[in-house]
Structure 1
Amino acid sequence: MFRAQLTFLLLFISFFTKAQEPVSIHLSEKDGLPDKEFYNIIEDTKGFIWLCADKGLFRYDGKSFKNYSNKEKRGLSVFGVQEDADGNIWCNNISGQFFYVKENKLVTFIDLSKELKGELALFRVRKKHVIVFSQNTIYYINRATKLIEKTHFSNFSYSLNVKVGEAIYLATTDSIAVINSKTEYKNLFPTNLSTRDKNGVTIIHGKTEVFQLDSLFFLRQVRFHKNKFYQIDFHKNKLLELGGFENMESESIQHIFKNGNQIWFSTTNGVYVYNFSGNKFYEKRQFLKGKNVTKTIKDKDGNYWFTTLNRGIYVMPNIFIETYDISETHKKITALDKVDSQTLFFGSNNGDVSFFNIKTNKEFNIEMPEASKVSAIAFDSKKKLGYIGKQTKMHVLDKKTLKCKVIFSTSSAKSFSILNNNDVFVVDYKTTTLLKYANNYKPQKLLLNRRPYTSFYSKKNNAVFVGYVDGLVKYNAFWNPKTILYKNNPIYGLSITETKDGVLWVATFKDGIFGIKNDTVIHHFTTKERLVSNRIEKIEADKTNLWIATDAGIQFLNTKKKSFKTLTKRDGIISYDISGIEIMDDKVVFSSSEGLFSVDKKRAFKAQKEVKVYFTNIEIDDKKEKLKSNYQLAYNQNAVKISFNVNGLIFNQKGKYKYRLLGYNDSWITTAIGESSVKYNSLPAGDYIFQVQPFLDLEENKSEIKSLNFSIKKPFWETWWFILGILILVLGSIILYFRRKIKKKEQQRELEINKLSLDNELIALKLENLRSQMNPHFIFNALNSIQEYIILNQKKLASEYLGKFADLIRTYLNHSSKGKITLKEEIDCLEMYLELEKLRFEDKLNYSITNSENLIPDAIYIPTMLIQPYVENALKHGLLHRKNERILTINFSIDKQNSVVKCVIIDNGVGREKAEEFKARSGKNHKSFATKATKDRLALLNYGKEKQVGVNITDLLENNTPKGTQVNITIPYTTI
């Protein structure tokens, strides 16, 4: 007995008190916060957050911070931010300057540096006056004239005041006073509070403060360095001292915030929350301990903002979601069960188990003999026994004696189900086992080698449901299995619970949640029915309702109304890695890898308020334009970007927008979270209405639709006058086109006529050339030679010569009908001609015809009857007058780059000058080859051609004596 008490005493050493605190978002400079030292904060009627900081005045729209300053402002820091009845924002600085924001600019209202002499004064803005409170003087400044109309002086310091309607209640150290709506100062009654001790030393420190809670007024004063609180009784004209503030007597109070029936004190040591009931204050909680909090406000969305010195800003989205400060070593909770309405039993990743009282916030830790993590846990409230599953063994803990023993060897138990007869149903990674409580937990194997996920004992059905990897199975009292299907498909259960109406609820890893009654699925909820995710971590019944933990948020399901409420990390949920859910009266406690946290069932879900969207910017063709409700745009101003916003931190972290452009697409499109602009490129001409509506995830949308109109004019080419002008132009162009076409045809016909004329002339010239080639002298010489062969009875030679002569004449006649012949045909014809001419010269003529190696005579074509006349000219006028050694050379070469054939004819005759002399002596005046017909034919061949036939004749001289003639002929060729 003594040993058990000693064990309990030793364990009680770890039994210590823990605090619980709402989840907060800490905004610092790394989050874009422009400063870390803040003095004041307000939310204006439009939802903007205004901040007085060491670096100046800032406005926050939920996404970005904007600084307000001007040239007259001395120093950076500002204080006393407030909004007047017209929505203007005011502030002041320690230099005595007072400012207001107008048309998005900071304007200097008045400079009271001479009057205030470096004192940071309080002030109140009214419709007609700005009332400034210095330590001993009140200044009444006319807003229209900016003149000090009057002052009020006191021997005692003026207090921090409270505004109620048009009245301002304040105090000095000797009296309670009011400034009424007519700007009249009236003392109401004396405070009768001493200001000095018996030695005459001042006992009051700092400023006295008047504050209000509902219809009651209170006064705070620091006396003897301790905070003292009094209720102001206007009926009895006296102060009643209040108690209950012992824990914050010595705290330095920066700001007092009224929140319902609570007073929140912002201090240098965090925030103290006090309830007021029965004319007494009671401390409820403290949070942000150790932080120097300068002011607290609550915004329109129910979020709490806390400004601090040197720690930035804290925002609590939901004070009804609280974390429990359990031991750091036990924060990674792996299993959770409920002992009673106040106490939880949980196991952690480090292998220990703990009891935690959510009312007293006390934690009682028990170190386990096996160090492996706790994989499953259950508590039998009747027997006061805790069942703990570890990596290799199952333990049972007796809460009365705090003794722990091993009762079963198992491999990573998944879950325990305690049956009506106290037997324990155990599932591990591959086995389902029944432990008989009456037989000292004797195991009875039910099924081997079938891997389960979880189990649940239904008292209403007296049956155990097991979620296996291959489906959901129900075991009745005789342990007969029955598989439950949905549309002939298995149900893969990860977590199972049962509501009071007898519906069994099964959560799955990918198919949402199933509701089962009488072994039949009667409900199925997925993302289509507004689940935030089809992957469910844990579920727990709360009477006829259901709490659901998913990988994307925590939801409450009203199973009768089939309606959901949702909480996410943006609302203050610390983790989605949920290992357990337990219903604890008005709270639901969740265990996670980040520790324990709770949700107030009634107050954690905020009713969605109407949010107002406004346009922040419009850009047309990437150029920022002034905001207005309607725009008339030119046809080429068709790239439009529209930006919009809803003021508020939480909306910009959680909210989305629906938008559409009527006249372009009537369907609504939903943005992603944080996206607040839309851009349209290359819009066609027309009239458009852009509409946008904000909404929060999975909530009914009550917000107003905001619209912006703009029109894009048609381009000038789509206007009637332009179309008419184009039609006239087209018609005129058609007329002009056909007129030109007719004229072109006429010109073409004339060209064809001219061509026919040229062709006829060319034919005539060909005949002329043919005639010249077949000149009488040549024919006469040929016939004489044939006659001579006949007379000499050289029949064979006469026959051969006659045949060659006939072949040459036939070739001439054949070529005369063609426009082009191959170079080889031209060379063959020259060979035949020169053989006959050699007979004429009685073998005193030597000739040669050569061509370059890269020339293929068969592959190129040249004009007919082009070279022979020049060869004949060389014979008749050059070589004929020479008596012996008559030499004639003809060479052909090719220039592929310029597509021409070059023919060089060289003779060693007497030259052109001598030939003319012989011609003159003979008395013959007719022209042989160098006639007009040859020149005309060349002119016709070259007519209209880019590449032309060129002829160049050069006299060959030796010591100025004619030695022959060279003819260079350049002939364009084709390969067809």
Structure 2
Amino acid sequence: MRILLLSLFLLITNLGVSQNPYSITIDKASGLPSNSIYDIFQDSKGFMWFATGKGLCRYDGNKTKVFTADFQTSKSGSCIAEDAFGRIWYCNFDGYLYYVEKESIKALKQPTSLGYFKFGIIKNELFLIQLNAVLVYDLKTLQLKHKHSILDTQIRFCFATKEKFYVLGNLLYELGAKNTIKKHPLPNRFFEEIITPIINTWNGKLIINSKSNSTYYSFENEKFSKHKLNNAPDFIQNTAITDNSIWICTPNGVYKNDLNTTKSKTYFTDQNISFVYKDKQQNYWVSTLNKGVLFIEDFTNNYIDLQPRPQSLALGKNEIFIGAEKDLVYKLNCKTLQTEKIFETESNHSISQIYADTVNDNVFFNSIKFNILDKNNQIKSEFSIAIKDVKKVDDKYFSFAASGLVGIFYIDKNLKSNWDFIYEKNKNINFSGFNQVALLINTNGKSTEYNAINNTIYYATNNGLIAVTNDGKSKEIKHNNETLFLIKIQKYKDKIIGLSTAEKLYCLDSKNKVTVFKLPYFIAKEKFNRFFIRNQYCYLFSENSVYEYDLESKKAQKVMSISNDMEATDVILKNNQLLFATSKGIVIKNRNEIGNYPKPKLILNEIQINGKRREIEEINQLNPEENDITINYSVLSFIPNENYRVSYTINNSGWKTLDENDKNLKLSSLSSGNYTIQLAIIYNNEKTELQTIQFEIKKPFWLNTFFLIGMGILFLVLIYSFYKWQILKLKRKNELQLEKVNLEKNLNQSKLKAIKSQMNPHFFYNALNTIQSFILSNDKKQAVNYLSKFSTLTRTILEMTEKDLVSITEEIKTLSLYLDIEKVRFNDDFNYEIFADSNVDADNIKIPSMFLQPFVENAVKHGLLHQTEEKKLKIHFEKVADQIKISIDDNGIGRKKSHELNQIKNNKHQSFATNAMQNRVNLLNQFTQKNISIEYIDKQNQNNQSLGTTVVFVIPIIY
């Protein structure tokens, strides 16, 4: 029964070439804001624009940018156009016009709306229908330029060509660029046949279609002609004219009617089509009202719609065997591209591995079981083993990798092979199967390959890469002493190339040396999930692309992009045609045309300086604080879903690659200077579409030349001033040193004067006379006593000359010696008293040496000497706070009387006490930074008669 069903099945062939071309879908999953698309347009830069149910959007082949604003009355619309200033216009279905300028959407100031009608852009003018008028705007200023009166209440349609704007009402109005209006009467019964008109242009003619029937009119040279469409639908949503054909867009597909031959074709009958657009790269874009946009490279037969989806491909002699889902095997005729089912079951199993044995005309594939078909498409054998890969070893044997074991098998046992020894050695009569032997068991085989150069079979397993030779030996092949986990291995000449579970490629030579497979830079970082070697080419499948790497020339190129709604699983190269097994069917590409694909384009959208948009021509010179720069760019791919990396360099430094998902180059906190920024697309391992931006960031004022010169001069002035200041400081220091020396000199001279005062010749003369008188009077005791005091005083004075300070005790001792000697001169009428208070530490408190003696001498010599009555002198030391107060009190004739007597004796006499001692006090205060004061008190009675003099010293305590 099974054979009968299979025989009946083989009598049925499927001519499965679909009318639908291969397409890539761009929808909400691709970034569109809505799947409802009403219009398509390509601007002068190459961007595609879509008027969607949720606003106008721009598409660069990968990314979508939507332009909407809250001030719009509605967002869905149509009629996209571009003016000479690069603005993109469209009209929403409320009849209001909007335009995109400098990356933002703006509204045209128009008085009101008549509802949705197409507007027109002719040169630098915009034509807009309004109630009873056509408004003409100057596109440069966007100001109303002209207003043409049209008193027609039956406006049906508006359309613009490159030269004229047409309004279809009760008449056909033709508006030219010179503000002229021509009125053309319509044919009789025109609106009975063209109830709801749609206008297009073709070869200088207007083509006026009806939405509800096949009749259409052409208008040329002011004449209308009537025509009929073949195979016209009942309802027309829109029309487009390209390739000398009118494309009728309907809810049930698009009808292509050749305007020259009247031949017609129908595509996408399961789609609600709204528009067909052909871009400058000769690609087609078909908009739908429910499934986004369909991108079609061409409408020729480059696609075989196989459902269930194909999974694996195997090249036979003149055919390609296709393993598909739901346990289907197809045979594809390479010449006619007709497919035929050669195997089918009711299973939902997917045939992910298929192999064609061109020597024995067998086909091996694995579904629920491992199957072998003969040349008549009959099942030759089937076995319950899950084989993952089969490769030819020689004319007799094949190697296989399966779940649980790996080994070899043969088809014709009568053939001879140098692998017969291995087969017999491992043969197990208890192991049922298909003439196979297991070389390794308890291992999961993933892939296998045979290298004839070293006569070795390789198995990629869950335990690593295992090499088996025909002498029965096996060993693991490692990389850097680590196990290799490969999911697929393929042979090219004397090398084995393998793809690891980490999505890296490795190369194994005939000496079993493993190296990392080297790829060109632009794809080296890609992650590959599968690869296939076809002839001299290695086809690498990544998530988004398929690359071809020439194993001879070492060059690589992208051969196909993989969209979000498509998966590619296998590829075959036949007659320079690439056939890909994809989730949409078999996609066919001509290898010779791959390099002719349009190259991507790099477009600079805008430049922001410190977050604010600036035009490129406005950034030649920037202020120092304008140093945060963002360059927004687009990589325009004319084939959807093709991703290209962008690299940049600054001032010819090393190139750096940007993140392909972030289309912004951000440069923060740039220093002052000149900058040349270059951006380029990495395309087929080359830099292309080089874009250059040059600008200068000015130096801050403190880095300008004049400022630096001024600062340099100021710095030199400061250095000079500092130098002068140091010189003055040194001079002042020297002056202070000199002043100190002079002060010490003066102080020493003052001290010498005190000594001279103490030891003046008159004093010595009087003292020696006194001693002589004692000797002459034979008063030896007195003479010896007086002489002892005199000598002690002399020695003490000489000792005190070596000291700056002396204790109060030493000063009292010296004064006592002096006064004892002077007392002899006054006989018995002179008495003195020297005492210190009990709180005065006389032994430790210091006063300047030879300080009191001149004042004491002055009191004796000038005050007491001329006193006729009893002569008294009292010296008192007392402590007041942190000072020593010294009083020298006498009852002499007073300073005034003494001065008068001195003037009589010597007109030039000057008192030592009032001059020399005051000078010494000043010098001491200056030299020691002490505040020593002298106060003279002239004592008088009630009759103003002198009672003597008191000199008071106040000296800070010194220890």
- TM-score band by shorter chain is 0.5 to 0.7
* CA distance in 2: counterparts of 1:375 and 1:768, whole angstroms: 133
Equivalent residue, structure 1, for 2:532: 540
- Residues 930 and 514 (structure 1), Cα distance of their counterparts in 2 relative to 1, 3 Å cut: same
Corresponding residue to 1:767 among 726, 734, 752: 752
- Residues 934 and 545 (structure 1), Cα distance of their counterparts in 2 relative to 1, 3 Å cut: same
**Larger deviation: 840-849 or 694-703?**
840-849
- Residues 262 and 504 (structure 1), Cα distance of their counterparts in 2 relative to 1, 3 Å cut: farther
**What does 1:218-617 align with in structure 2 at a 5 Å threshold?**
221-223=210-212, 239-243=227-231, 254-257=237-240, 279-285=262-268, 295=275, 297=277, 341=320, 343-345=322-324, 355=328, 366=347, 386-387=365-366, 396=370, 406-407=384-385, 417=391, 421=396, 425-426=400-401, 432-434=406-408, 440-441=432-433, 444=437, 446=439, 454-457=447-450, 463-467=456-460, 475-479=468-472, 494-498=487-491, 504-507=496-499, 526-528=518-520, 530-533=522-525, 536-550=528-542, 553-566=545-558, 572=563, 581-583=570-572, 588-589=579-580, 600-602=588-590, 607-609=597-599, 611=601, 613=603, 616-617=606-607
- Residues 805 and 210 (structure 1), Cα distance of their counterparts in 2 relative to 1, 3 Å cut: same
Shift of 1:812: 1.9
Corresponding residue to 1:936 among 909, 912, 919: 919
* CA distance in 1: counterparts of 2:566 and 2:763, whole angstroms: 121
- Residues 750 and 798 (structure 1), Cα distance of their counterparts in 2 relative to 1, 3 Å cut: closer
- Residues 285 and 436 (structure 1), Cα distance of their counterparts in 2 relative to 1, 3 Å cut: same
* Residues matched between the structures, number: 847
- Residues 233 and 383 (structure 1), Cα distance of their counterparts in 2 relative to 1, 3 Å cut: farther
Shift of 1:401: 9.0
Q: Is the 8 A contact 1:396 1:404 kept in 2?
A: yes
Corresponding residue to 2:689 among 690, 700, 703: 703
**Which amino acid counterpart does residue 122 of structure 1 have in structure 2?**
K
Q: Which has the larger radius of gyration?
A: 2
**What does 1:700-739 align with in structure 2 at a 5 Å threshold?**
700-701=686-687, 703=689, 706=692, 708=694
Q: Is the 8 A contact 1:92 1:98 kept in 2?
A: yes
Equivalent residue, structure 1, for 2:116: 120
- Residues 363 and 811 (structure 1), Cα distance of their counterparts in 2 relative to 1, 3 Å cut: farther
- Residues 280 and 67 (structure 1), Cα distance of their counterparts in 2 relative to 1, 3 Å cut: same
Structure 1 residue matching 2:556: 3-state secondary structure = strand
Structure 1 residue matching 2:664: 3-state secondary structure = coil
Q: Is the 8 A contact 2:249 2:255 kept in 1?
A: no
Equivalent residue, structure 2, for 1:198: none
Structure 1 residue matching 2:439: 3-state secondary structure = strand
Q: Is the 8 A contact 2:465 2:478 kept in 1?
A: yes
Structure 2 residue matching 1:45: 3-state secondary structure = coil
Structure 1 residue matching 2:689: 3-state secondary structure = coil
Shift of 1:744: 8.8
Shift of 1:537: 3.5
Shift of 1:548: 0.9
Q: Is the 8 A contact 1:646 1:694 kept in 2?
A: no
* CA distance in 2: counterparts of 1:915 and 1:53, whole angstroms: 128
* CA distance in 1: counterparts of 2:285 and 2:912, whole angstroms: 117
**Which amino acid counterpart does residue 459 of structure 2 have in structure 1?**
V
Shift of 1:764: 0.7
2:671 aligned with 1:682: yes
* CA distance in 1: counterparts of 2:346 and 2:786, whole angstroms: 144
Equivalent residue, structure 2, for 1:815: 803
> For 1:241-274, what per-residue CA distance to the aligned partner results, in whole angstroms no more than 9, with x for missing partners?
53386xxx67xx54445676987766668x6586
Equivalent residue, structure 1, for 2:421: none
Structure 1 residue matching 2:752: 3-state secondary structure = helix
2:935 aligned with 1:950: no
**Which amino acid counterpart does residue 581 of structure 1 have in structure 2?**
D
User: What's the RMSD between the two structures over aligned residues?
Assistant: 7.5
Q: Is the 8 A contact 1:264 1:274 kept in 2?
A: yes
* CA distance in 1: counterparts of 2:88 and 2:635, whole angstroms: 16
- Residues 633 and 746 (structure 1), Cα distance of their counterparts in 2 relative to 1, 3 Å cut: same
> For 1:642-666, what per-residue CA distance to the aligned partner results, in whole angstroms no more than 9, with x for missing partners?
84645747799945556666xx547
Equivalent residue, structure 2, for 1:899: none
Shift of 1:765: 1.9
> For 1:614-636, what per-residue CA distance to the aligned partner results, in whole angstroms no more than 9, with x for missing partners?
574475x98876653894779x6
Structure 2 residue matching 1:609: 3-state secondary structure = coil
Shift of 1:950: 1.9
* CA distance in 1: counterparts of 2:641 and 2:678, whole angstroms: 15
> For 1:692-730, what per-residue CA distance to the aligned partner results, in whole angstroms no more than 9, with x for missing partners?
45424435555365565769799899879997x999999
**Which amino acid counterpart does residue 904 of structure 1 have in structure 2?**
Q
Shift of 1:489: 12
Structure 2 residue matching 1:949: 3-state secondary structure = coil
> For 1:560-616, what per-residue CA distance to the aligned partner results, in whole angstroms no more than 9, with x for missing partners?
4433222787x626699x9x534387665468xxx7887543378772337364574
Q: Is the 8 A contact 1:170 1:178 kept in 2?
A: yes
* CA distance in 1: counterparts of 2:176 and 2:485, whole angstroms: 71
* CA distance in 1: counterparts of 2:550 and 2:123, whole angstroms: 50
**Which amino acid counterpart does residue 572 of structure 1 have in structure 2?**
S
> For 1:211-241, what per-residue CA distance to the aligned partner results, in whole angstroms no more than 9, with x for missing partners?
6899999876454xxx758898999966445
Equivalent residue, structure 2, for 1:350: none
**Which amino acid counterpart does residue 748 of structure 2 have in structure 1?**
I
Shift of 1:540: 0.6
**Which amino acid counterpart does residue 936 of structure 1 have in structure 2?**
N
Shift of 1:336: 6.0
**Which amino acid counterpart does residue 116 of structure 2 have in structure 1?**
L
Q: Is the 8 A contact 2:276 2:284 kept in 1?
A: yes
Q: Is the 8 A contact 2:541 2:547 kept in 1?
A: yes
Structure 2 residue matching 1:122: 3-state secondary structure = coil
Structure 1 residue matching 2:922: 3-state secondary structure = helix
* CA distance in 2: counterparts of 1:448 and 1:641, whole angstroms: 64
Q: Is the 8 A contact 2:388 2:446 kept in 1?
A: yes
Structure 2 residue matching 1:628: 3-state secondary structure = helix
Structure 1 residue matching 2:524: 3-state secondary structure = coil
Equivalent residue, structure 2, for 1:201: none
Q: Is the 8 A contact 1:659 1:690 kept in 2?
A: no
Q: Is the 8 A contact 1:615 1:642 kept in 2?
A: no
Corresponding residue to 1:758 among 729, 736, 743: 743
**Which amino acid counterpart does residue 344 of structure 1 have in structure 2?**
G
* CA distance in 2: counterparts of 1:4 and 1:517, whole angstroms: 50
> For 1:887-932, what per-residue CA distance to the aligned partner results, in whole angstroms no more than 9, with x for missing partners?
85669xxxxxxxxxx843267x7x86x7788899999999999754
* CA distance in 1: counterparts of 2:542 and 2:107, whole angstroms: 51
- Residues 514 and 97 (structure 1), Cα distance of their counterparts in 2 relative to 1, 3 Å cut: closer
- Residues 546 and 55 (structure 1), Cα distance of their counterparts in 2 relative to 1, 3 Å cut: closer
Shift of 1:300: 5.1
Shift of 1:547: 0.8
Shift of 1:479: 4.6
- Residues 776 and 274 (structure 1), Cα distance of their counterparts in 2 relative to 1, 3 Å cut: farther
Equivalent residue, structure 2, for 1:47: 46
Q: Is the 8 A contact 1:633 1:711 kept in 2?
A: yes
* CA distance in 1: counterparts of 2:837 and 2:36, whole angstroms: 116
Structure 2 residue matching 1:950: 3-state secondary structure = coil
**What does 1:595-674 align with in structure 2 at a 5 Å threshold?**
600-602=588-590, 607-609=597-599, 611=601, 613=603, 616-617=606-607, 619=609, 627-628=616-617, 631=620, 639=627, 641=629, 643=631, 645-646=633-634, 648=636, 654-655=643-644, 665=652, 671-673=658-660, 674=663
